[in-house]
Structure 1
Amino acid sequence: MDKQEEILEEIFTQFLKGSRIFKNREVLRHDYVPENLPHRKEEILRLGEITAPALRGSPCSNVLIYGKTGTGKTAVVKFVLNKLAQKAKEINSSLKVCFVNCRLAGTEYRVLATLCSSIDIKVPFTGLAVGEIFDRFRKNLESQGIIFIVALDEIDALVKIRGDTLLYELTRINESLKDSKVSIIGISNDLKFKEFLDPRVLSTLSEEEIVFKPYNADELQDILMERAKIAFYEGVLTEGALKLCAALAAAEHGDARRALDLLRVAGEIAERRGDKKITEFHVREAQERIEHDQVYESIKSLPTHSKIVLLSVYFLSKFDPNRSVTGDIYNLYSEICEQLGVSPLTQRRVSGLINELDVMGLLNSRVVSLGRYGRTKKISLGVPRKVINEVLSEDERFRSIMDYKPKYLSSLSKSSSNK
């Protein structure tokens, strides 16, 4: 047995000997749909009333569901549709349902392919025009004589990137159907989502609207308590740890997903250390770990030019934290583009990227007055420099430039010393 095998053997043995924390960690995952959804009775009843006519062969109203991340939208829709499908099977109703996450699907093609698959239409993974798939979908749907309820989760992600053409076609499909009908449930995290829609699409899609309000700390405690009973062995989770998870998530717009993530990661930390209980200490460490991972992934997934803008502010902040104004950033950005062999964008476009990074929390910008010289925007990093260094150093394109000494900064240093 070599050293690596010995290390793994020790890890596995230690884990099996260690304290038992989790009974079922899967119930703390985002995709788990519990049998009971605390504090969402009103929303469940409302959606149930809207969709019930489908059991008698009538198309139900289209619904738009809004609410911030972690407010229970997806869980409620899945819960209601699961119960609806069960009831339809009991009474031999010609009702079918389909749930699609548009962000994960990514393209109109994949959304349509998922809809086709749910009613037993085989479509190749790629290769067909979207229009051709839609025609197949419509013809096969009509031949089946069914009521088809389609739930499109994170619908805003599809519309913002691909436009609302598919939504327009889906909201108009019933005009060309006689024996089948389609109803749509759209789910969005963006309360301004409607602004991206063509008025014709909006009028048809938003026949009914349900808004999910954020959970408060007490409601989050109830949710965590329900899940904890199934997730952990008795006596493992301390009351202080549970309350802290709820309080931290309540501070972030009442996000139940964040609360569940905190609880799961805190449990994993306790488990790896062989601790017998999950305490507030584990929750605090879980918070740090989650925040680091979120920032890491946010930076890692940025387009090249956004990374260069962030790197420009990174270099400027090392030189002089008070020096990061838009003009300096653009000059440094242009120099880095040249070093990387990338064609620079216009200053106006770079200003737009700075605004996007500000919205993401990776940069902080504030307008400051220069008296009679007008106003300017001061930019600072919104995340630790070490995280930016960590992520970009792992990017093959940026690795070689992390220790670069920008000429522009040298010129700034000389001009400052000459004053």
Structure 2
Amino acid sequence: MNDPFEGMTNQLFEDKHVLEEDYAPETILEREDEINAYRNALKDVLFGRNPSNIFIYGKTGVGKTAVTRYMMKALQKQVDSRDETDDLYVLFHNCNNDSAYGTLRAFINTLRDDSEPNFPKKGLSTGDALEAFYTTLDERGGTFLLVLDEIDHLAKVNSLLYELPRARSNGNLTHARIGVIGISNNYRFRDSLSPKVKGTLMEKELSFSPYDANELRTILMHRAEKAFVDDAYTQSAISLCAAKAAQDTGSARQALDLLSTGGDLAEDRNDEVVTDDHIHSAETRVQRGRVRNKIRDQTPHAQLILEAVARLESSDETPVRSKSIQSTYERVAAHWGTDPLSSLRSVQDHLSELEMLGFLSRTERNDGRAGGAYYEYELAMDADAVFTAREEIAAEQEP
């Protein structure tokens, strides 16, 4: 058999990585106001003061993490150029499906030399991890900014956010300073924190709004010039990507996915230019991928609860109350070999978050004295898309 890859050439793309999620642009476009607010929140670091705690909110794909990485790089460069400024260490960690202990362990291991053993995965408490973390910080000294991406997915987040900002005032740190930067898609995350944590944090909040079509078009034009060879796309295709993403989520990530997928389809068809037709065809493929990624970002139990509602939806049993969802969820968990959450309240908390994130719609009912007030839930997306996403995620997790 002939080599199936023989003769393949890179037809349209000059540098496809420019359109991918992990690409770090040298210039951040259409976020001037957010960058100015960020700069003001970080300025104390330049003068040896305690850094502010900063919480950043916004939907997926609106530049929260990209701007944060850009600002940390710029701040590090400025600190390195000033002799009078304390050393700066920026530690990033994605909190999705992680615990306070796991997060501290990751930070400790990042700071330890290669010759030192890793902090153990188990056998110690969160208090032990905090003590080891403080020791590591004080041995180095300087200012440490702890960037906690998807902080709303962190288990036992209250314990961490209560302890870290008080470390210096409680005498746990002498030579080091800590600032926490939390990034979240959940605008109501702060409401879930305990009152004592809210009083301790005294954080500065930055909110990232969705991009509009003009802003997305500016971003896409800048990226397309680097991503494609000359004359490989139409201006109309760029505008269409921007318009579709703006109407749906206001996400630059979605707009870039549309353009990248449109380029793939054009290459598959041996076309020389990405046109509107390619973008229209790319939309279905991108939507499927977005559903899968959104579901993957949820905790394992949230995924199982969503699948339970999807099963009820496909059986025409929705809208449905949380108690019925709990029963179906327990069967779904058993099917996947997972121990279910034991309390109805835990299931209800997940349902509320899934509704807030747009996976579910919720209607309040009131049966008066006979039944009182309660919520009913139904799926806010196609059930088959949920089933397909869950099967793909489960397949990826197989050993």
Superposition TM-score, scaled by structure 1 size: 0.76
Note the C-alpha offset of 1:388. 5.5
Q: What is the correspondence of 1:333-412 to structure 2 with a 5 Å cutoff? A: 337=331, 382-384=380-382, 386-387=384-385, 390=388
Distance 1:138 1:369, change over 3 A: closer
User: Is residue 218 from structure 1 mapped to residue 214 from structure 2 by the alignment?
Assistant: yes
CA 1:164–1:393 in structure 2 vs 1: closer, same or farther (change >3 Å)? closer
2:112 aligned with 1:120, yes or no? yes
Matched residue of 1:15: which SS? coil
Pick from 119, 128, 132 the counterpart of residue 128 of structure 2.
132
Matched, 1:326 2:320: yes
Q: Does 1:35 align with 2:26?
A: yes
Distance in structure 1 (CA, Å) of the matches to 2:390 and 2:58: 34
The equivalent residue for 1:313 is 313
CA contact (8 A) 2:96 2:153 kept: no
The verdict on how the C-alpha distance between 1:271 and 1:97 changes in structure 2, with shifts beyond 3 A counting, is farther
* Aligned mates of 1:356, 1:284 — CA distance in 2: 32
Q: Give the letter aligned to residue 45 of structure 2.
A: A
Q: 1:306: Cα distance to partner?
A: 4.6
Following the alignment from structure 1 to structure 2, what is the Cα–Cα distance between the partners of residues 45 and 335?
A: 46
Give the superposition deviation at 1:332. 12
Higher mean C-alpha displacement, 358-367 vs 241-250 = 358-367
Aligned-residue offset at 1:83: 1.4
Q: Tell me the equivalent position of 1:149.
A: 145
Partner of 1:66: 57
- Aligned to 1:115, the other structure's residue is in SS state helix
* Secondary structure, counterpart of 1:13 in structure 2: coil
Task: Report the secondary structure of 1:70's partner residue.
Answer: coil
SS in structure 2 opposite 1:116? helix
CA–CA distance in 2 between the matches of 1:49 and 1:368?
Answer: 46
Query: Matches of 1:146 and 1:396 in 2, distance apart?
Result: 43
| Letter in structure 1 aligned against 2:310 | L
> 1:406 — aligned with what?
none
Which of 65, 69, 72 does residue 81 from structure 1 map onto?
72
Deviation at 1:343, TM superposition (A): 9.3
Of 216, 222, 232, 1:236 maps to: 232
Are the aligned partners of 1:171 and 1:201 in contact in 2 as well (CA < 8 Å)?
no
2:260 to 258, 264, 280: 264
Please, what is the CA RMSD of the aligned residues? 3.9
Q: By how many angstroms is 1:146 displaced?
A: 0.8
- Identify if the C-alpha distance between structure 1 residues 107 and 347 changes in structure 2 by more than 3 Å, giving closer, same or farther: closer
TM-superposed deviation, 1:395: 9.5
Are residues 389 and 369 of structure 1, via their aligned partners in 2, closer, same or farther at CA, if it must alter by over 3 Å?
same
Tell me, in whole angstroms, the C-alpha distance in 1 between the residues paired with 2:394 and 2:249: 37
State how many pairs are aligned.
Answer: 379
Identity %: 30
Aligned counterparts of 2:70 and 2:100: Cα–Cα separation in 1: 25
Greater share of helix: 1
Aligned match for 2:167, one of 173, 194, 200:
173
Alpha-carbon deviation of 1:324?
4.4
Cα 1:225–1:348 shift into 2, 3 Å = same
Q: How far apart, in 1, do the equivalents of 2:343 and 2:103 lie?
A: 35
User: What secondary structure sits across from 2:95 in the alignment?
Assistant: helix
**Structure 1 counterpart of 2:75, one-letter code:** L
Inter-partner Cα distance in structure 2 for 1:346 and 1:210: 35
Aligned residue number for residue 13 of structure 1: 6
1:111 maps to what in 2?
A: 103
CA distance in 2, matches of 1:205, 1:334: 39
Gaps in structure 1 of 5+ consecutive residues? 318-322, 398-419
Decide which of 290, 294, 316 is 2:290's aligned counterpart. 294
Shift of 1:396: 9.2
Structure-2 separation of matches of 1:74 and 1:350:
30
Structure 1's 276 and 369: CA in aligned 2 closer, same or farther, altered over 3 A?
Answer: farther
With over 3 angstroms needed to count, the CA separation of the structure-2 counterparts of 1:137 and 1:330, relative to structure 1, is: closer
Q: CA deviation at 1:237?
A: 1.7
Give the deviation of 1:285 after TM superposition: 2.0
Q: Deviations over 1:166-205 (max 9, x none)?
A: 1111111121222221122222222111101122322332
TM-score (norm 2): 0.79
CA contact (8 A) 1:72 1:256 kept: yes
SS of match in other structure, 1:242:
helix
Structure 1 residues 363 and 264, CA, compared in 2 at 3 Å: closer, same or farther? same
Distance 1:237 1:117 in 2: 45
Does the 8 A contact of 2:57 with 2:207 survive in 1?
Answer: yes
Residue 221 of structure 1: how far off its partner (Å): 0.6
Structure 2: stretches of 5+ with no match in the other structure: none
TM-superposed deviation, 1:304: 4.4
**Which segment drifts farther, 57-66 or 348-357?**
348-357
Aligned counterpart in structure 1 of residue 245 of structure 2, from 246, 249, 266: 249
